[in-house]
Amino acid sequence: MGLHRFKPPMSGRMGTLWTLASVRDAALIEYGCMGHMLYGRVFLNQAGISEACRLYSTHIDETDISLGDTRRLKGAIDEIIKGDKPKIVFLLPSSVPTVIGTDLPAVCEELQPEYPDVRLLPFGCGGFDVCGHHGVQEALLLLAKTLPRDTEKTPRSTFNLIGSCADLFRFQADAEELVRIMQGAFGMQPLCVMTSDTSVGQMEQMGGAHINLVIRREGEPAAKHLKKRFGTPYLLERPYGIEGTVQWIKKIGQISGLTPDHSFIRAEAEKAKNQMSSAMPHFKYVIRSHPDEATISLGGHADVVKGVLSYAVKELSLIKGFCWCDCPSMASEEIPYLTEAEWTKTIESRKKGLLMASGEALKWADRNMDLQIANPDTKWRLSPYEPPFLGFRGAINLVSLWINGIIEQDHD
């Protein structure tokens, strides 16, 4: 791992942890140094994850490392199962067990007969060489392969939301907005919000859904597996803006064969437009007279950057500035990957315009902290009821943030 001015990029292990930590009726044991879990728990507390997966770390010493001794891990599993009585125990390796080759799947296979009522599920991605988003992807896929039971489709149409995980900024609010829209447009209830608001039992029922809504590309392998096993169609998209959300609803209707409630869609779109109408003349004036102030630059998860940029440029005519994503494997010509040194240099060279990025980047650059769209964060986010970025209400929220960000520049 190299040196970083800010928090290092999310590792595969952290991506896995942040995906699993919100699952209820489960316990997670990290086989590794307890300091790792303490750091992870701080982030999860700040992100508002509570009353979910029970998190533990075994700690390891020189004997465990040099001799490959796993007795400490086995003892922890036994104690936690007897004390907490979880439905499933997730086992997560840290970097040291990964490097020395500790075989967690073999440990689980050996111990599983002793706990017939509790599933032991090992995960990988413990090394620093794995990107955090790959850890999220592998965790979602393994959950989708392991937990869903054979079941019939629910009598009334239902859906799963796949990819709502704690590593995304304002993940809970975005998920709630999409659930609200699905209930209003189709009268559909969620079976599983994977994984920000779910339990082991809800994931076991995922096969009964009529459609899977995937809101980040890391969730697509899980959706493909569920489609192959249960025949469940899926849509991979994050709906930003009024038109973007309307088109998202239409696609769901086409895939599911259901007719959306057009009166609900019209009412939501009209309400959003009315809320924004007073700001539109100022947007047009600034775009025409001060285009440098109407430029929007973004950095964060590639799907978030792409969606927010599309709404800003296509629906509001803001001007694209510099954009980057935080994962090399997600880079594209439109949204390249920038290292810490590259994005800090770029931010320093461009002082005008709107900047939406991580809380850490905005604080360092002394920019508007209200425009945060990514982690690492610098604040505690205990409330899951903050305004979303997705959907109709997200469209209003973003316009409110942008118009105030532009006005703030006018006062400089």
pLDDT at 8: 75
Residue ending a domain, choose from 186, 211, 236: 236
- Considering the domain boundaries, does residue 248 fall inside one? no
Helix ranges restricted to H, 187-292:
200-204, 220-230, 242-256, 262-276, 280-289
- Considering the domain boundaries, does residue 267 fall inside one? no
Q: CA nearest 242: which of 394, 403, 386? A: 394
pLDDT at 406: 94
The beta strands (E) that lie in 42-87 are given as 54-57
- Considering the domain boundaries, does residue 141 fall inside one? no
pLDDT at 64: 61
Report the distance separating Cα 14 and Cα 18, nearest Å.
6
In terms of residue numbers, what domain contains 200?
A: 158-236
- Considering the domain boundaries, does residue 285 fall inside one? yes
Please say whether the beta carbons of 166 and 196 come within 8 A. Answer: yes
Q: Are residues 351 and 227 in the same domain?
A: no
Q: Are residues 278 and 332 in the same domain?
A: yes
- Considering the domain boundaries, does residue 260 fall inside one? no
- For the chain, the domain total comes to 3
Report the distance separating Cα 93 and Cα 79, nearest Å.
18
Q: Are residues 174 and 287 in the same domain?
A: no
Q: Are residues 288 and 395 in the same domain?
A: yes
Query: DSSP string covering 97-140, please?
Result: HHHHT--HHHHHHHHGGG-TTSEEEE----STTSBHHHHHHHHH
Q: Are residues 398 and 288 in the same domain?
A: yes
Band of pLDDT at residue 412, cut at 50, 70 and 90? very low
What integer is the mean pLDDT of 197-211?
98
Per-residue pLDDT tens for 134-178? 999 999 999 999 999 999 999 999 999 999 999 999 999 999 999
Per-residue pLDDT tens for 218-240? 999 999 999 999 999 999 999 99
Q: Are residues 192 and 276 in the same domain?
A: no
Alpha carbon distance, N-terminus to C-terminus of the chain: 40
The answer for 381, left when phi > 0, alpha when psi is -120 to 50, beta otherwise, is beta
Looking at the predicted structure, is the pLDDT value of residue 78 above 80? Answer: yes
Provide the 3-class DSSP secondary structure of residue 405. helix
Tokens 């001060």 belong to which residue? 290
Q: Are residues 399 and 276 in the same domain?
A: yes
Most confident of 9-13, 91-95, 196-200: 196-200
| Chain-centroid distance, C-alpha 386 | 16
Report the distance separating Cα 289 and Cα 402, nearest Å.
17
Q: CA nearest 73: which of 24, 117, 122, 26? A: 122
- Considering the domain boundaries, does residue 352 fall inside one? yes
Per-residue pLDDT tens for 249-269? 999 999 999 999 999 999 999
Looking at the predicted structure, is the pLDDT value of residue 1 above 60? Answer: no
Please say whether the beta carbons of 219 and 140 come within 8 A. Answer: yes
Helix ranges restricted to H, 278-339:
280-289, 302-310
Q: Are residues 292 and 224 in the same domain?
A: no
CB-CB neighbours of 395 under 10 Å: 28
CATH code, domain carrying 212: 3.40.50.1980
Per-residue pLDDT tens for 342-364? 999 999 998 899 999 999 999 99
Residue ending a domain, choose from 110, 130, 150: 130
Provide the 3-class DSSP secondary structure of residue 211. strand
pLDDT at 411: 43
Count of residues making up the chain: 412
Residue ending a domain, choose from 236, 254, 285: 236
For residue 306, give every residue at least 6 positions away whose Cβ sits within 8 Å of its Cβ, in sequence order, or none.
334, 335
Q: Are residues 78 and 167 in the same domain?
A: no
**What phi, psi does 98 have (nearest 5°)?**
-65, -45
Q: Are residues 313 and 398 in the same domain?
A: yes
Q: Are residues 91 and 172 in the same domain?
A: no
**What rounded mean pLDDT belongs to the chain?**
92
Residue 106 tokens read as 């073999």
Q: Are residues 209 and 306 in the same domain?
A: no
Please say whether the beta carbons of 326 and 374 come within 8 A. Answer: yes
Per-residue pLDDT tens for 36-68? 677 778 888 889 998 799 999 887 766 665 556
- Considering the domain boundaries, does residue 371 fall inside one? yes
Looking at the predicted structure, is the pLDDT value of residue 103 above 90? Answer: no
Please say whether the beta carbons of 226 and 234 come within 8 A. Answer: yes
Per-residue pLDDT tens for 267-312? 999 999 999 999 999 999 999 999 999 999 999 999 999 999 999 9
Q: CA nearest 143: which of 192, 190, 81, 216? A: 192
Helix (H) or strand (E) holding 84: helix 71-84
Looking at the predicted structure, is the pLDDT value of residue 97 above 90? Answer: no
- Considering the domain boundaries, does residue 27 fall inside one? yes
